[in-house]
């Protein structure tokens, strides 16, 4: 997204450009700084596959379908949701992992 202001890099070197305002309201674990960080890249330990799902929970859109991922991917998503405090993802993962 061209107007994003935070860039993350997955463990498999895929970039995600995210809006700070969305992280502020939906993912307390990222704690984005108040200053401009557009030219900085924050490396994360999760794969692009997991971050793609996780970041979808940070936007006011339809939630991703988590019935399709393999259980291992769902477990990794749940772990990332806990780590970054994405509560909407945590709740969905909890339901589908049962």
Task: Give the model confidence (pLDDT) of 38-71 as tens digits.
Answer: 578 999 999 999 999 999 999 887 766 666 668 8
Does residue 53 lie in a domain region?
yes
Task: Report the CATH number that the domain containing residue 86 is assigned in CATH.
Answer: 3.30.710.10
- Predicted TM-score (pTM) of the model is 0.83
Does residue 1 lie in a domain region?
no
Check residue 65 and give its pLDDT. 65
27 touches 56 (CB < 8 A): no
39 DSSP 8-state letter: T
């Amino acid at each position: 997204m061209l107007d994003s202001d935070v860039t993350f890099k997955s463990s498999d070197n895929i970039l995600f450009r995210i809006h700070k305002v969305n992280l502020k309201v939906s993912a307390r674990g990222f704690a984005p700084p108040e200053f401009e960080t557009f030219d900085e890249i924050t490396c994360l330990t999760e794969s692009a596959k997991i971050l793609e799902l996780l970041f979808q929970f940070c936007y006011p859109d339809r939630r991703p379908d988590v019935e399709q991922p393999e259980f291992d991917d769902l477990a990794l998503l749940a772990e990332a949701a806990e780590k970054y405090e994405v509560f909407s993802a945590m709740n969905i993962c909890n339901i589908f992992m049962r």
